Structure formats: structure tokens, C-alpha cells
Structure 1
Amino acid sequence: MAETTLTAAPLRSPLAPAADRFAAATRTSGGAIRLAELPFLTQLNVRLDAKGAAAEAVGLALDLQLPLQPNTVVRAGELTALWLGPDEWLLVAPPGSAADLESRVREAAGDELVSVIDVSAQRTTLLVTGPSARDLLAHGCALDLHPRAFGAGRCAQTTLGRTQVVLVARGEPRAGFWVLVRSSFAGYLAEWLLDAATEYV
């Protein structure tokens, strides 16, 4: 009987084919726009009672208080928590940390009701930075992206170029934005961004 060995295929991000074009757009814009993919970030969807004991316990276990204000972001080290709803958060962390994070959340919640789902493979993350990043995103987003309305520490579920995304304003103006997009729409959104960026080349 023939012996078969199964080997895992190497991970390939949804936007790997666009990497060279992102780099070219960054060069030709003279740094006005920088586009890049942040592949394979850990993304955990967490649902629990924000007013229950589990919320505080989970915050302590993660060394990060879950944000309770709508559309806000809390960061601690390499971990970021996004408010998605009154009882829903998205934890974003470095690649490969899903199992550890999930274990910490479940252990901290104890007997309290909690849902923890690894959605890392569902989305990829685009980084959009540069002095013209806000203007670029404003071409396809109905949100008011002025720093007074959507400054550092803000997030929103919205549409960009008719694609559903989670948009995150990073910690400082030069840090730009994260655009979390479903993997199946990532190619379309990359094309839209590259086309919109031609204004800055």
C-alpha cells in the first residue's frame, strides 16, 4: 500500500498579488499615500454582557479594558480591542495568538456566558497611511473622517468603495488607518484603493 503524506500548503494572504502594486503606488505618490497589507493578524470576535462580571474579569486577564463607548478602540501593547456593539468586541493581535487569547478570555469569563470566535481567516487588514490617507478614504466612505469626528482611537463598521469594512483610526496621525475587509472582497477593495490613489501620483 502506498504511503501518503499530507503537508499543509503555505499560507497565502488574499492580497499577496497586490503587494508590488501597493509598493509602486507608495513610491509614485512620493509618500503622500502608503498602502500595505498586514496579513494574518489574529482577530477574535468576543460577545459577553458588558455589565456583567465577565467583562471586568476579561479586561484584567488581557491587561486591557474592553471599550464601552460606541465606536472606540483600546490598545495595550500589541493587543487592540474594537467596540462593535453593546455586547460585542473584536480583539486584534499579532498572527498566531488566537489560541492563547481565546483561552485567556474563556478562563477569565468562568461560568459567565461568553462567545469567542476566531475570525482571523475571514478578514485581512489593509494599512493606509500618509498625509493624504484621509482624503483617499473620504473618496469612498460616507463617514466624516475629519480628525475632530474620526480621530485616533475611533472605529466604525462602514462601507468603503461599496465594500463593508471595519475602519480604525490608529493611535497617532502618522499611524493612519486600518481597513479590515472580508477576504472575498479584499481584491476588489485593493483595486478601488489603487485606482483612487492615482490622484496622488
Structure 2
Amino acid sequence: MTVETPARFSPLSGWQDRFAQLPTGLRVRELPFLTQLTLRVEPGSAAAKAVEDCLGIILPGPLRAGSPGDVEVLWTGPDEWLLVAPDGRQDDLLARLRSAIGDDFATVTDVSAQRTTLALSGPLVRTVLAQGCALDLDPRVTPAGSCLTTLLAQAPVTLVVREEEPSGVRLLVRSSFASYLATWLLDACTEYRSDTGGRGWDGR
């Protein structure tokens, strides 16, 4: 008997056409179903060293992100990091990390279903985000490699400035806030569109 795998739907499935309405200075796309693991470990401990050897990277310090190959490591607290990898890597990474940690004190938890990711690029990225974020997003203050947990339009997000894309930002947002945040981004861009006549993205 054949068992069908249930179809997966991302929090922003069907939004491609609306994202296509954005001005040319801002491009937004969803990166759905990324592997996301929360790592809790004491910095400098034997367990932390084991994790670093396993991943091939020094765990980044406060407000920073690092990327060994296809795994991105985001600092999210004094003893907490978020590991982000392509879809389908959960089991492999969990097994490798738990094997490396052994009986040392640390935890690794799969939280992939909690959030989706928005990839933003273009010259308007920081200008648009500044409308809803209290942080100083000037590149001199928030350079590439920065990782910040903040509020964007009152929605909690993890904001990552990409090393390989100086004008690019990734927003990790909880699934329940994704539609709200996407709508806010569209409205925040209204003044930069030439075809709206001052109206919102939905014509109002």
C-alpha cells in the first residue's frame, strides 16, 4: 500500500504575486521549511567545543552570525544559538550534534516549524525596515554579519544582515506573525511605488 506524504504549506504560500507588486528597489521572497535548531550550551564549555568541532565554526558572539558552509549559526542569547540549514537537514544535524555532545550538558531542539524566513534585498531594504524598527540600521552600526532580535512593526523577528549580500537582510518570523509582517512590508513600500497614486498595496 502506498502512503501519501501530506502536502506542506508554508505560512506565506500564495504571496508571490503580492511580493511582485513591490517597487524595484525591494525584493522579497519566502524561504520556507528551513531547518532550524535551537542550541543551548555554556560558552567555553567542553560541550561548546564539541559543537564547534562538529560544525567547523567558532560559535559567534553577541549580535553576530556565522556560516560554516550551508549551516548558519545565529547568536540569540548568552547561552543560546539558532542553527539554520536547508530543508530536510534536521535529522542529520540533530544526530551529529547529539553524538558530539554526548553526556555533556547541552540541548539541541528542532524548532523548524516555529518560523518562516523572508529574504529581502535591494537598495530600499534598510530604508523600509527603518519605518518599523527602532534599531539603527545604518551599515556602519549594523554591518554585514549582524544578528539582532528585535520588533519590526511590533512583530518579534530575528534580523540577520547577510555577509554575502551587503544590501540583503533575512527576517526570521514566527509563523503566526508571517502574514501580518508581509502585509506591513507591502504597505511600507507604498510611497516608493510609481503605480499606486498614494494608495495602499490593495488599492485602498
Q: TM-score under structure 2 normalisation?
A: 0.90
Runs of at least 5 residues in structure 2 that lack an aligned partner in the other structure: 194-204
Amino acid at match of 2:7: P
Letter in 1 for 2:108: V
Please state how far the C-alpha of 1:151 moved relative to its aligned partner: 0.8
Q: What residue in structure 2 maps to residue 11 of structure 1? A: 8
| Matched pairs, number | 193
Partner of residue 100, structure 1: 92
Mapped pair 1:52 → 2:45: yes
Tell me if structure 2 keeps the 8 A contact 1:131–1:174: no
The residue that corresponds to 1:199 in the other structure is 191
Greater helix share, structure number: 1
**Contact 1:49–1:55, Cα closer than 8 Å, also in 2:** yes
Report % sequence identity. 52
2:39 pairs with 1:36: no
Which of 145, 152, 157 is 1:160 aligned to?
152
Please give the alpha-carbon distance, in whole angstroms, between the structure 1 residues aligned to 2:123 and 2:165: 8
Q: List per-residue Cα deviations over 1:120-168 (Å, max 9, x = no partner).
A: 1100000111011000111100000001111101111100011000000
Q: 1:200 to 1:172 in 2, by over 3 A?
A: farther
TM-score w.r.t. structure 1 length?
A: 0.92
Secondary structure at 1:21 match in 2: helix
**Contact 2:125/2:167 (<8 A) preserved:** no
**Structure 1 partner of 2:77:** 85
Structure 2 counterpart SS, 1:55: helix
Mapping 1:80-159, distance limit 5 Å: 80-159=72-151
The 1-side partners of 2:152 and 2:75 are apart by: 19
Instruction: Tell me the SS of whatever aligns to 2:67.
Output: strand
TM-align CA RMSD: 1.4
Q: Look up the match of 2:200.
A: none
